Amino acid sequence: MKLPHSFAYRSRAQRSAAPGVFRALPSSLMLALALASAGAHAATAGETSTAQATVDQTQSSATLRKIAENGAIVLGTRESSVPFSYMVKQQPVGYSYEISLRIVEEIKKRLDMPHLAVKNVQVTSANRISYVVNNQVDLECGSTAHVAEREPLGAFSNSFFQYGTRMAVKKRSGIRDYGDLAGKTVATTAGTSDERMLRQMSIDRKLNLRIISARDHAEAFAALKSDRAVAFVMDDPLLYGKIAQEGTARNEYTVTGTPLANEAYGCMMRKGDPVFKRLVDDVIANMQRSGEAAKLYENWFMRPIPPDGINLQFPMSPEMKALFANPNDRTLD
């Protein structure tokens, strides 16, 4: 459904001057506007049914209403979360990004807006939650862990990846587990659950770690690469992704350490919108049960990926297979 131009694309000032106009419209008028957008001919029963379904969706979901009003959905993307969401030739790609595009296709169908625009906004580990909460991003599918402490801030979809928190080190360092880090400098990424766990572990185990909280994963790995840090603590698939980008030098690194925790990634959206969450959950669950998600996993974790054709060679774990067989949005912490 494409809303009439004068209705759907009012300026922010116009919306402020008449607060609640869009939200307060009676369903009969919204239905008439929806039918008007189909053309001047008499509406068929099918068009009436489709328009009514679209009105029902936007009335019951603030996020879908915002998307329909703006004629666009805003996706939060990442710069260097390989292979989940990262930039190649100034365009986002990745396993998580493809999931978000599949969700967009379902939104287009639900709203009957085949030409819905997609706007990508790059976020970081430090600001991604605030971007969702403050309506700057409608959906963030990257490498965001669904942990209990984040649930008061936002809603999370069914999980699409499970992993352990470990560390990348140089083989020659001799570091094998966290006890070997005592008194040393360690890198992680600011704003992540890994940073919180690392700081708590340093206190609990009296390791006296010096922690570099980098802006993003690339900067954290660069600290390890340049020997400013002896380890990079992060989600293990992201560690494998950074190491794989090193080409022939990848053999100088290894991923090691007993997992600090096991966590799951989900797409993040605003709280209080069960209709939109159900839409997102259903897309992910259908992908997992149909085998589509397994094929997507194969493409991004077991085959060469852009831009340089690296292969992470990261087989699907038994835990991931169990998740795909029984989709859910439970935390693992």
Question: What is the percentage of the chain residues whose pLDDT exceeds 70?
Answer: 83
Whether 283 and 155 share a structural domain: yes
Whether 72 and 117 share a structural domain: yes
Does 105 reside within a domain?
Answer: yes
Nearest residue to 25 via CA among 72, 68, 87: 68
Does the CA dihedral 86-249-314-303 come out positive or negative?
A: positive
Q: What is the CATH number of the domain that holds 180?
A: 3.40.190.10
Q: How many distinct structural domains can be found in the chain?
A: 3
Query: Which residues are CB-neighbours of 288 under 8 A, at least 6 positions away?
Result: 158, 160, 294, 323, 324, 325, 327
Band of the pLDDT at 314, cuts 50, 70, 90?
very high
* Arithmetic mean of pLDDT over the chain: 87
Whether 237 and 275 share a structural domain: no
pLDDT value of residue 59: 74
The answer to whether residues 210 and 222 touch, using CB atoms and an 8 Å cutoff, is no
The answer to whether residues 231 and 172 touch, using CB atoms and an 8 Å cutoff, is no
Strand partners, 58: none
pLDDT (tens digit per residue) in 269-306: 999 999 999 999 999 999 999 999 999 999 999 999 99
Does 201 reside within a domain?
Answer: yes
Least confident of 6-10, 171-175, 238-242, 246-250: 6-10
Q: What is the domain extent for residue 117?
A: 61-160+266-325
Whether 76 and 221 share a structural domain: no
Q: Which tops the pLDDT comparison, 245 or 5?
A: 245
Does 330 reside within a domain?
Answer: no
pLDDT at 171 over 50: yes
pLDDT at 187 over 80: yes
pLDDT value of residue 44: 53
Whether 201 and 221 share a structural domain: yes
The answer to whether residues 108 and 73 touch, using CB atoms and an 8 Å cutoff, is no
pLDDT (tens digit per residue) in 52-81: 555 566 679 999 999 999 999 999 999 999
**pTM of this structure:** 0.79
Does 285 reside within a domain?
Answer: yes
DSSP 251: G
pLDDT value of residue 43: 42
pLDDT value of residue 333: 84
Nearest residue to 132 via CA among 276, 288, 285: 276
Whether 42 and 129 share a structural domain: no
Instruction: Summarize the confidence of residues 179-190 as an average pLDDT.
Output: 98
Domain boundary residue, one of 11, 32, 56: 56
CA distance 225 to 231: 9
Instruction: Summarize the confidence of residues 9-21 as an average pLDDT.
Output: 39
CA distance 219 to 37: 49
Instruction: Summarize the confidence of residues 138-165 as an average pLDDT.
Output: 97
CA distance 302 to 146: 25
Whether 113 and 138 share a structural domain: yes
Does 333 reside within a domain?
Answer: no
pLDDT value of residue 189: 96
Whether 120 and 147 share a structural domain: yes
End-to-end CA distance of the chain: 41
Peptide bond into 83 cis (omega under 30): yes
pLDDT value of residue 25: 41
Whether 145 and 117 share a structural domain: yes
